[in-house]
Structure 1
Amino acid sequence: MTGRIDTVERLIKATREVLIEHGFAGATLERICATAGFTRGAFYSSFGDKDTLFTVVAEDEYTESIKRLKAVSDQWEEDLHPRAVARGEASVVMTQLLPHALKAIGLGRDFFILHNEFLVRAAREPAWGLQFREVNRDFVLSLSQVLTQILAAVGREPTVRGEALSQAVIGIALRATGVDAWRHELPNHDPEHPAPRGTMLDLNDISALIINLLTACSKPVGAAELPAQ
């Protein structure tokens, strides 16, 4: 059993690497097996087909993010003491807490590429995407819990569905991560013009955007919600 578990883990790791470097289009069985150091026979002894392996890789990726987010949430459950604070102080507190949430998501070049590959394939092949729909939702809800804790730490509560707020933050963070990865790669390909035209957001910009979003989509605990305009 240990040998089979090791084979499965190596195939998952290899598939993750191949997807990051070549995408689903380049994730051939031959390339995955070569990266893992296995024969096709070893692959078929562990997985019935590539789609099954791809689903396991997606589930594994989301599960790891969920574990990290839960660790942050559990720690904050012990350490944070919700209280009402002045608006200026609230921004400072949220600025201190937010990086822990973003780090727990696992943001980076690999995360950006993998999650975009998953979403694009799920959009093209909905039947495949349905296989990891629940773990994807668990990931979104786990981040929602952490964002709610950030707001609670400054005496605020969401005025929108936590899932919607979480999706919006993921969208901002993913876009920023992709642009950042692109920015860091550009000097390797165009050393004479390392700084691209246009605006490149940095971490401070992203934090400010997300904090403004959290503030706009929340209210002081116990306060009446403003009527829609």
Structure 2
Amino acid sequence: MNAPSRQAPESSRERRRRETRAALLQSAYETFCAAGYAAASLEAIAADAGFTKGALYGNFSSKEDLFLVLAEERAESMPGEWQHIEPEGLGRDKVGWAIGSWLADAIRQRRGWFLASAEFSLIAARDPELAARRLAALRRTHRELGEVLLRFRRPATADPTALGVLAMALIDGVIINAALDPDLDVASVVATGLQRMLPDGPGES
């Protein structure tokens, strides 16, 4: 019986590269949140992380690549924010309120990121290569959100991605409106929309 293979220890060079990349991503996130996508400069991102622009280009091929890597990482972590929502034990109204409350909190904490993401999506829509990569990350979020909602009640022909696209269209619209209207009741608007979107659950009509 072969012994299990062991992962080679990380070299100091690999560790420095990993730490540099992580620092650049954190600086990029903060800069995009504060300035928006278009106004953010690679020079500022690199300088705020304590590196040169050359170091940034050693890790990312372009500003677009940097943003997409950051967006993809955040898309991977987002489903974890929905783990507390258990649709099986909730009525339709409560499912809507759970998602709406999550979004209201997320907007308060990450308003700048949501706006930068919307800005980048509009730019990517004009570039087929960027659009394809951006869509790949979004589709993962759509599918994960759709799966959460379908745990409430799964019709035989349900498509989680399609439901997730519809739900995210509602959420994206609310994000933009909330940016323009700080007094918007985000949780209520999202809850109302999702309540109309979801099928009746057991015992509901």
Fold similarity call, TM over 0.5: yes
5 Å matches for 1:58-207? 58-69=71-82, 71-72=83-84, 76=86, 80-81=88-89, 91=93, 93-94=94-95, 97-99=98-100, 101-102=102-103, 106-108=106-108, 109-149=111-151, 151-152=152-153, 161-180=162-181, 183=182, 200-203=183-186, 206-207=187-188
Q: Which runs of 5+ in 2 are unaligned?
A: 1-13
Q: Does 1:219 align with 2:199?
A: yes
Q: Which runs of 5+ in 1 are unaligned?
A: 184-199, 224-229
Report the aligned-residue RMSD: 3.3
Amino acid at match of 2:190: I
Aligned-pair CA distance for 1:8? 0.4
Helix, strand or coil: the match of 2:19?
A: helix
* Structure 2 letter corresponding to 1:107: I
* Counterpart code for 1:217: M
CA distance in 1, matches of 2:100, 2:135: 26
Relative contact order higher in (CA < 8 Å, ≥ 6 apart): 2
Structure 1 contact 156–218 (Cα < 8 Å) conserved:
no
**Matches of 2:115 and 2:97, distance apart in 1:** 27
Distance in 1 (alpha carbons) for counterparts of 2:58 and 2:25: 14
The amino acid across from 1:130 in the alignment is A
- How far is 1:166 from its partner? 1.6
1:27 alignment partner, SS class: coil
Do the aligned residues in 1 keep the contact of 2:27 with 2:45 (CA within 8 Å)? yes
Q: Deviations over 1:73-120 (max 9, x none)?
A: 5xx27xx436xx7xxxx53x346533454368x333123222212212
Q: Secondary structure at the match of 1:167?
A: helix
Structure 2 counterpart of 1:192: none
**What is aligned with 2:8?**
none
Q: Is the 8 A contact 1:101 1:146 kept in 2?
A: no
| Percent of paired sites with the same residue | 25
Structure 2: distance between partners of 1:170 and 1:124: 22
Query: Aligned partner of 2:185: which letter?
Result: D
- SS of equivalent to 1:5: helix
